[in-house]
């Protein structure tokens, strides 16, 4: 059994419990499962296997939500990818990243928490588990996972697990995508499955 498989088993046991034991606060029913960024493909396989096992072993439906899909939805609903590409060509990557960050943050555009809440809105909390994937699309600094979770407080009752590529130096220090500038930023206020 691989390192990830072993860690997923712990999460799986908490998700199979009634009620699920993977989260700390009822108004923020999220957990983070952190995994090494270089193990993205293995993690995707493990998530798929986990979804199958949960569906077969519980009365819950597993719904997968891609943060990458939500990000691109926001870009297209705002000014579109052509505008972002033109901005990057004219002013560089940092300016383009900042523009996408605005799309995902500014209430005049398509805030990411609103998109996630809308995706979770019609799901039944007692019979659904949300599996949130592709957080790496928000790197390096498009949108902070800690900010997303802070803004999701009180917005859903659907139990969710957000799978996040990250490195750690103990549970207190998580680096999103292993990027050193991300060290020590944000507090997740959720249970974090790491190491």
pLDDT, tens digit (0-9, with 9 covering 90-100), for 54-94: 999 998 999 999 999 999 999 999 999 999 999 999 999 99
Question: Is cis: bond before 140, omega within 30 of 0?
Answer: yes
What element of type H or E holds 88?
helix 81-91
Q: How confident is the model at residue 172 (pLDDT cuts 50, 70, 90)?
A: low
- When pLDDT is cut at 50, 70 and 90, the band that residue 2 belongs to is confident
pTM of the model as a whole: 0.91
CATH class label, 3-67+112-193 = alpha beta
| Between 155 and 187, the higher pLDDT residue | 155
Produce one character per residue of 17-43: b if its CB has 16 or more CB atoms within 10 Å, e if not.
eeebebbeeeebbbbbbbbbbeeeeeb
Apex CA 181: angle with CA 88 and CA 67, to 5°? Answer: 60
């Amino acid at each position: 059994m691989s390192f990830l498989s072993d860690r997923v088993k712990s999460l799986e046991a908490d998700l199979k419990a009634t009620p699920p034991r993977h989260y700390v606060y009822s108004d923020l029913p999220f957990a983070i499962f952190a995994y090494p960024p270089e193990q993205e493909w293995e993690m995707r396989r493990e998530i798929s296997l986990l979804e199958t096992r949960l569906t077969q072993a519980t009365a819950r439906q597993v719904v997968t939500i891609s943060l990458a899909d939500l990000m691109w939805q926001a870009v297209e609903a705002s000014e579109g990818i052509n505008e972002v590409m033109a901005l990057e060509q004219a002013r560089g990557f940092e300016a383009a990243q900042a523009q996408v960050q605005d799309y995902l943050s500014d209430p005049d555009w398509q805030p990411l928490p609103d998109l996630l809440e809308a995706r979770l809105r019609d799901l039944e909390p007692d019979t659904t588990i949300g599996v949130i994937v592709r957080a790496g699309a928000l790197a390096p600094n498009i949108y902070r996972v800690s900010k997303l979770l802070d803004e999701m407080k009180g917005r859903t009752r659907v139990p969710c697990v957000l799978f996040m590529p990250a490195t750690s130096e103990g549970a207190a220090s998580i680096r999103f995508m292993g990027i050193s500038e991300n060290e020590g930023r944000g507090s997740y206020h959720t249970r974090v499955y790491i190491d």
